[in-house]
Structure 1
Amino acid sequence: MTHDGAGGAPATPSGTLARAVLGGAHARGWTLAAAESLTGGLVVATLVDVPGASAVLRGGVVAYATDLKASVLGVDPDLLARRGPVDPGVAGQMASGVRRVLSADVGLATTGVAGPDPQDGHPPGEAYVAVSTPEGDRVLRLDLVGTRAEVRAGAVRAVLALVVDAWGDAARHDGPVKGA
């Protein structure tokens, strides 16, 4: 495996995005936290692969079971009952909930179906990633193709890219990021 040359994270697309997310948070004086379902801790693991992550990363919550999304992260139980855990509103509430629970400035969230079987009428690869920042919230639907591991890795890349994109938009517009 190759490394980035800085003695740190593997030189992968996710590793590059993780460095950009951590650097952006550090430059803003912000902290990060992640709420993960589909990815089961891979977002946090990807971030902690980067030396110095502890300067901004508060932690993560793996809320794999649906009831934990409500009881730990504060996702609306009625929304979960109506729509299930694979839903853009759930992803958004997970991101804002982890900000609150872990006292972070930025919350990231992942939820979806890794496969190989459908779940509650949702096909493998359907996923939602979200970011909640002081500048606004964004949610993105993903339709990923591949093995279970590939779907999970794709969700990690997507949520990290969503943060980088949100910060880039805020810098270009010199104002709050609008919700997706």
Structure 2
Amino acid sequence: MFPNDIEDAARRIIQTASARQLWITTAESCTGGLVGASLTAIAGSSAVYDRGFITYSNAAKTDLLGVPGDLLATHGAVSEAAARAMAQGALRAAGAQIAVAVTGIAGPGGGSDDKPVGLVHFGLATADGDVAHRQAQFGNLGRQAVRMSALRMALNLIELGLDQTA
């Protein structure tokens, strides 16, 4: 279903999280559930992945993850602040130890000078209270390529989070 590199990363994540008895959750906007789908494509994923959140709209980010509406109004849904808040909200809502959040502009439209197509923000929250942020500008590669690039980066961040979580 997914390219080999994505399947391999998802398998490593499931194996590592299972060995450490850690729960993972996802909060996805522009990837629309691809991160969760890649994890659940691996047999045994139910031991470490209980739920994920597809929060495509601002209302969903607020309702499901508790992202403050004023934060979204001030910074926008595609921002460092939103990615961090999404990750924290998902961690809290799922009772997980690791949460990754993805929010961006996959295109082909929707971009601006400040936030061009291909801009994606990632949040990674862990149960120890750490919340990391990454930003990527994949460029206007086409909607599917941006989403797949974001998926790869999200999986990489989960692996980094697992490395840092005991």
Query: How far apart, CA to CA, are the structure 2 residues paired with 1:167 and 1:46?
Result: 17
- Alignment partner of 1:134 is 2:124: no
Query: How far apart, CA to CA, are the structure 1 residues paired with 2:162 and 2:37?
Result: 22
- What are the within-5 Å matches in structure 2 for residues 78-117 of structure 1? 78-117=70-109
Tell me if the contact between 2:98 and 2:161 (Cα under 8 Å) persists in the aligned partners.
no
Structure 2 residue aligned with 1:166: 161
- What are the within-5 Å matches in structure 2 for residues 25-40 of structure 1? 25-40=17-32
Query: How far apart, CA to CA, are the structure 1 residues paired with 2:79 and 2:104?
Result: 8
Cα offset for 1:166? 3.3
Structure 2 residue aligned with 1:155: 150
Tell me if the contact between 1:117 and 1:123 (Cα under 8 Å) persists in the aligned partners.
no
Cα offset for 1:10? 5.1
- What are the within-5 Å matches in structure 2 for residues 43-58 of structure 1? 43-58=35-50
Cα offset for 1:35? 0.7
Structure 1 residue aligned with 2:117: 124
Aligned residues: 163
**Mean Cα deviation higher: 120-129 or 42-51:** 120-129
Tell me if the contact between 2:34 and 2:151 (Cα under 8 Å) persists in the aligned partners.
yes
Cα offset for 1:24? 2.0
Distance change (3 Å), C-alpha of 1:119 and 1:11: closer
Cα-Cα RMSD: 1.8
**If the length of structure 2 is used for normalisation, what is the TM-score?**
0.90
- Does the residue aligned with 2:65 lie in a helix, a strand or coil? coil
Structure number, greater radius of gyration: 1
Cα offset for 1:12? 1.6
- What are the within-5 Å matches in structure 2 for residues 67-82 of structure 1? 67-82=59-74
Query: How far apart, CA to CA, are the structure 2 residues paired with 1:67 and 1:10?
Result: 30
**Percent identity among equivalent residues?**
33
Query: How far apart, CA to CA, are the structure 1 residues paired with 2:60 and 2:2?
Result: 32
Moved over 6 A (4+): none
Tell me if the contact between 2:27 and 2:87 (Cα under 8 Å) persists in the aligned partners.
yes
**Mean Cα deviation higher: 130-139 or 44-53:** 130-139
